[in-house]
């Protein structure tokens, strides 16, 4: 066979489709993860199994490893702050004190979606070497960020508040307690307003306690709601 001695300009090397975690539409249609129409991040604990490399390849074998837990209560507690509004008078502070709660909704939603995908074993069969960064967990989080999280919008918060008498042992003024056990319609607090960050990173919740801050602290908790666009 006669050689042309012309070097090819390109070299074609087959790669795994999981190297690109962004879904791209085409004329003939494309695959897309089916998601729920609405989500509520409440007090759920999500359990999933994987091997020592964070891969999900064989469920029967993965039962031998310690299961992984994602707890929504702990995640919400970690990703929010509650502070006294600094723009209030001392009289307001001693009576119906104003509070500002800042919640990192994007981080909470991302973590929740990650746990759901792990529990559902959506990426079962994908090993670390089939991803760009040699890390399947990183690839799943990238997939969520590129394809899923922007398909949801924040739709509401259920806020629960229970007053705590400062005469109760252990109670301190302005020291409020995160408590997931108070989820009950009788404790639902509705007199608040919210502002959502335009980047869909955080929300701020503004409210005034409806009992004297000089006599009561409070226990509080919240659930987050998201709706598919």
Q: Which residue has the tokens 């190297």?
A: 19
Which position has the higher pLDDT, 195 or 19? 195
- Taking CA atoms, 158 is separated from 19, 60, 181, in Å, by 39, 39, 14
Q: For 77-133, how does the pLDDT look when each residue is reduced to its tens digit (9 = 90+)?
A: 999 999 999 999 999 999 999 999 999 999 999 999 999 999 999 999 999 998 888
- DSSP summary character for residue 59: H
Q: Is residue 9's pLDDT more than 70?
A: no
d(C-alpha 116, C-alpha 118), whole Å: 5
220 Cβ contact partners less than 8 Å away, ≥ 6 residues apart: 82, 159, 160, 161, 162, 176, 177, 178, 179, 182, 189
Over residues 37-41, the mean pLDDT reads: 94
5-14, 30-39, 154-163: which range is least confident on average? Answer: 5-14
Q: What percent of the chain has pLDDT over 70?
A: 86
Q: What percent of the chain has pLDDT over 90?
A: 77
Q: How many residues does the chain have?
A: 229
Q: For 62-90, how does the pLDDT look when each residue is reduced to its tens digit (9 = 90+)?
A: 999 999 999 999 999 999 999 999 999 99
Q: Say what the pTM is.
A: 0.86
pLDDT for position 1: 53
Would you state the structure tokens that stand for residue 36, as one six-digit string? 């729920």
Over residues 168-188, the mean pLDDT reads: 94
pLDDT for position 162: 97
Pairing of strands 152-165, 98-103: unpaired
Would you state the structure tokens that stand for residue 204, as one six-digit string? 């701020």
pLDDT band for position 30 (50/70/90)?
Answer: very low
Domain ranges of the chain: 36-228
Nearest Cα neighbor of 94 from 215, 183, 4 is 215
pLDDT for position 27: 43
Would you state the structure tokens that stand for residue 126, as one six-digit string? 């994908």
């Amino acid at each position: 066979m006669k050689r042309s001695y012309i070097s090819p300009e390109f070299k074609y090397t087959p790669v795994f489709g999981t190297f690109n975690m962004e879904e791209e539409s085409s004329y003939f249609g494309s695959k897309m993860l089916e998601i729920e129409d609405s989500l509520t991040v409440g007090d759920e604990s999500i359990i999933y199994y994987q091997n020592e490399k964070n891969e999900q390849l064989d469920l029967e074998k993965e039962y031998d490893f310690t299961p992984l837990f994602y707890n929504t209560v702990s995640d919400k507690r970690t990703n929010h702050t509650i502070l006294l509004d600094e723009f209030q008078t001392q009289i307001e502070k001693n009576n119906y004190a104003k509070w500002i709660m800042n919640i990192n909704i994007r981080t909470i939603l991302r973590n929740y979606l990650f746990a759901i995908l792990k529990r559902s074993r959506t990426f079962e069969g994908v090993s670390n070497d089939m991803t760009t960064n040699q890390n399947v967990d990183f690839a799943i989080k990238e997939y969520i960020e590129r394809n899923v999280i922007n398909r949801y919008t924040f739709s509401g918060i259920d806020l629960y508040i229970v007053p705590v008498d400062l005469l109760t042992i252990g109670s301190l003024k302005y020291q409020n307690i995160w408590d997931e056990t108070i989820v009950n319609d009788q404790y639902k607090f509705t007199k608040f307003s919210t502002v959502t960050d335009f980047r869909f990173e955080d929300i701020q919740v503004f409210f005034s306690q409806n009992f004297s801050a000089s006599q009561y602290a409070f226990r509080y908790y919240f659930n987050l709601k998201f709706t598919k666009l």
